Amino acid sequence: MTTPDPRPPHDAPGPPEPGAGSRVARSRRYWRFWRRHRTLFWTLHSGWALLTGIGVLLLARERYGFVPWVVAFLALTWALTLYLGSRATREGPEEEPGAGPPGAAEEVTSYLTRGLYQETLFFLLPFYGYSTVVRSPNVLFMVLLSGLALFACLDLVFDRWLRTRPVFGLVFFATVAYAATNLVLPMLVGLPPSVATVVAACIAVASAVPLAVRGSEHRPGERIRLVLAAAVILGVAIGLPGLVPPVPLRLEEAAFATGIERETLELRGALARQADASEVQGVLVVRARVFAPSAVPTQVWLDWKRDGQTIRTSREIDITAHDLGFRVWDSWRPEDGTVPPGRYEVVLRTPGHRIFGIVDLWLEAP
């Protein structure tokens, strides 16, 4: 009597595969197609991202009313990215950084993160551009924002850096959050730009750390670098405020003259930017109009220079800039009563030695 072998023969059919038209089969086909053409898709998307970014940049001009909404959407994206990122970490395969393309959850998370953060950067560029002065240190922050906005359009490289370089992720997230918060705080809360800079830096680093830490869960050494990077960001933002334009303040217009009506602030003897020194009789006056989209209290002072040498620094003037423009003025009277020819430069500053305007005048010898 033979006992039947309980093991199935080698050619016995296994569990039935999902039907060709089932949802699981379609999902597998779509995913295989995506993995095969992923590079081509993201390359084409990079061009589209740049075009939409330029469109956002053009549409954002002077639309200060949208700034609070952008910050609200940024906060929503932060929460959504943190949630999806934690799910991708729990459910996705554990692999070494750079081992291959990300999974579906990571792709979706990365797309949402890059998309809104990138558009936010392009939206913020005009507002920082209004307050940036080319011949000042704050042009560096404008270069940083512009560089990150353009780099975010390079989907494949940017996505890999966000997934595999937590320190870069911290710098990117913190920069976007800082730029948005630093702009909106004076507008909504009425904080002076000098105070808003400190508050925005703390909020930016606190919000960026959780997003950046997601990529360093299996690399303890990366945590130390994240702490150091966060300290550097705070130190630069708080200790070197002159590197950041004093948004939303901006110089709207400025003019030189030979006199001014103190009651109406109307100029007498307005001068062209290139004038004859003989037109000036003993005193040189400058008047500037400072703009802000809402009431923003701050202090302003003016530094006078002639041929690169400081000749006068005005007192600090307490102002409340607004959308109609706040006019400030100052005058310089040389001790000998004669205004000599030369290249004159008046620099408008706020606390923290933050420059938001430079006005030039060339006086030629008669």
Among the candidates 243, 273, 304, a domain finishes at: 243
On whether both 159 and 263 belong to a single domain, the answer is no
Residue 56 one-letter amino acid: V
> Which residue among 204, 221, 243 closes a domain?
243
In CATH, what number is assigned to the domain containing residue 305?
Answer: 2.60.40.10
Give pLDDT tens digits for 76-102.
Answer: 778 777 766 555 544 444 444 444 556
If asked whether residues 254 and 239 sit together in one domain, one would say no
164 and 284 both lie in a single domain: no
pTM: 0.81
Of the residues 243, 269, 303, the one at which a domain ends: 243
The answer to whether residue 10 is domain-embedded is no
User: pLDDT by residue (tens digit) across 193-220?
Assistant: 999 999 999 999 999 988 887 655 556 6
Residue 324 in tokens: 């109609």
Q: Does some domain include residue 6? A: no
Pick 215 or 115 by higher pLDDT: 115
Return the pLDDT at 4.
Answer: 53
- Residue 139 sits in the same domain as residue 206: yes
Check whether residue 311 and residue 263 sit in a common domain: yes
- Residue with tokens 């909404």, as numbered in its chain: 69
Distances (CA, A) of 120 to 8, 71, 108, 113, 269: 61, 9, 18, 11, 45
Number of domains in the chain: 2
Considering only residues 87 and 109, tell me which one the structure prediction assigns the higher pLDDT: 109
| Other Cβ atoms within 10 Å of 80 Cβ, number | 14
Residues 79 and 183 in one domain: yes
Residues 297, 171, single domain; the answer is no
Amino acid at 241: P
- The verdict on whether omega for the bond into residue 248 sits within 30 degrees of 0, i.e. cis, is yes
Q: Domain range spanning residue 304? A: 250-364
Phi, psi of 70 (to 5 degrees): -60, -40
